[in-house]
Amino acid sequence: MKILIAGHKGMLGSALADVFKGEELVLWDLPEVDVADESILDQMVAENPELVINATGYTAVDLAEKNKKEAKKGNITTVEMLAEACEKINSPLVHFSTDYVFDGETKGGYEETAAPKPISFYGKTKAEAEKILRKKTDEIFLIRTSGLYGPNGKNFVDAILEKAKTGAPLAVVNDQICKPTYSLDLARAVRELVEMQPEYGTYHLVNEGAVSWYEFAKKIVELAQLKVDVKPISSKEYKAAAKRPANSTLLNTKMKHLRPWSEALADYLARKLSKA
């Protein structure tokens, strides 16, 4: 299969490129290709892929509150361009969204059919992109995930490891709950989804087990065998620029469940620390 992966240099894109190795891959990323440029339609027609995977996006949640133009371009304009191009060449599109499209006020978590209600500008751009996609094309796998970490990109796990090196206590919020997800596990699940060829629509692909960022940080420190204290604080004390949902647990009701987050984390850390 000829597959175009946009954003192949990033954390998720690089994992997807690795997992889909063996297929005929067309790999796009900045600065060579800007998928938000109007010329993208002609470039897509020229390549004529059988499947397009969009792993691009503006993911700086706090910075999005002030860099609204950049966030809109990365999360809305780009998506609209790709959707129009995919519709033109009749190619299915895999696109990734986030648990931050929800407000976190629903107890028990969110199924795929839950209505988005974002509380940050980042969340609003991702929710708007979902609307645009559904209007522009029918052939879409809209995948929501959460707490993504892995090689080749900034993420919570690596940030905790770096801060822990100083030996100073770590203060981490304990009133925000999600399902942290390993990029490699997500990429593998995407390949399985594509190969199964189920009906198009929205899918929640996350490592299983809901956990607070504080509990997640504690496990990172424990598995990495680091001697540093991790202290719980509230979101109010942390004072982030963007508001986060209190409980954005995504419920996977359609696909085989991914492995528990603790197993995935142990795998990632073992790989990472063995190369250190």
In this structure, what are the phi and psi dihedrals at residue 134, rounded to the nearest 5 degrees? -65, -25
Neighbours of 253 (CB within 10 A): 11
Which of the residues are catalytic? 122
- HSE (CB half, 13 Å, CA atoms) of 228? 23
CA-wise closest residue to 230 among 175, 167, 171: 171
Q: Are 100 and 120 in contact (CB under 8 A)?
A: yes
> How many whole angstroms separate alpha carbon 70 and alpha carbon 79?
13
Token look-up 């990172």 returns 220
Contact 78, 57 (CB under 8 A): yes
Count of CB atoms situated within 10 Å of the CB of 82 = 28
Pairing outcome for strands 2-6 and 24-28:
parallel
